[in-house]
Amino acid sequence: MSYSSRIKSFYHLFKIAIKGEEQNFTEGSINRAIFLLSIPMILEMAMESVFAVVDIFFVSRLNNSDAVAVIGLTESMLAIVYSVAWGVSMGATALVARRVGEKEYESAAVAAVQAMLVGLTASIAVTIAGIFFYEDLLRLMGASNSVIQVGSHFTLWMLAGNLTIMMLFLINGIFRGAGNAAIAMRALWLANLFNIVLGPILIFGWGPVPPF
């Protein structure tokens, strides 16, 4: 195969991977299957790191070091949520992929729901801790009183609303297991778009929305 043919073949497969067309990964070339699944997963993982960067970017415009500090401390706490969500989602991906490969689609659905229940249980525990102990958790992380006074409610919202993070990871893992990693990628793109648009509006205020 010539160099130009390889480039065209790569571009063609790349477009298929981004579009997320229905594929049967139990048949055909394993290299092709890995490529079609890996491209959306790489782009998805890149999007996961954008959330905190966007938050810090806009909050830094307030010229308040305490506000920036509370985001860094909160994201450090959320790393635990990310780890749990990522671990459960990998298990969900493996279980769903196995059942889909066996053509046991009802069993795949059951496995997906069970994984979501596990994630929900873990999320409830984090929510309770966040609601009642968010200031104590910041102090445990070394936050000063001024940091807590300025931004503790950000920590409260992020910990209490961790279900969105947990479900985003889990649902994406389930879709990857079902062979459609592109949907998971698009979900992260959409979530980042909302964060980029709503972040400055809620931080600085706009129209009838007061600055928070």
Q: What is the DSSP string of 7-25?
A: HHHHHHHHHHHHHT----T
Q: For residue 209, report the phi and psi dihedrals to the nearest 5 degrees.
A: -85, 120
**pTM as predicted:** 0.77
3-state secondary structure at position 212: coil
What is the structure's pLDDT at 21?
Answer: 63
What is the structure's pLDDT at 190?
Answer: 87
What is the structure's pLDDT at 115?
Answer: 93
How long is the chain? 212
Spatial contact of 158 and 78, defined as CB atoms under 8 Å apart: yes
Q: What is the pLDDT along the chain (212 residues), one digit of tens a residue?
A: 566 777 777 777 777 777 766 666 667 778 877 877 788 878 777 777 788 888 888 988 888 889 899 998 998 899 888 889 889 988 999 999 899 888 899 999 999 999 999 999 999 999 999 999 999 999 999 989 999 998 899 999 999 999 988 998 898 889 888 888 788 788 888 888 998 999 999 989 988 999 88
Spatial contact of 162 and 81, defined as CB atoms under 8 Å apart: yes
DSSP conformational letter for 61:
G
Q: For residue 179, report the phi and psi dihedrals to the nearest 5 degrees.
A: 95, 15
What is the structure's pLDDT at 99?
Answer: 92
The two tokens of residue 7 are 């480039």
The position carrying tokens 């920036």 is: 68
Q: How far is the CA of 68 from the CAs of 17, 73, 74, 201, in angstroms?
A: 37, 9, 10, 17
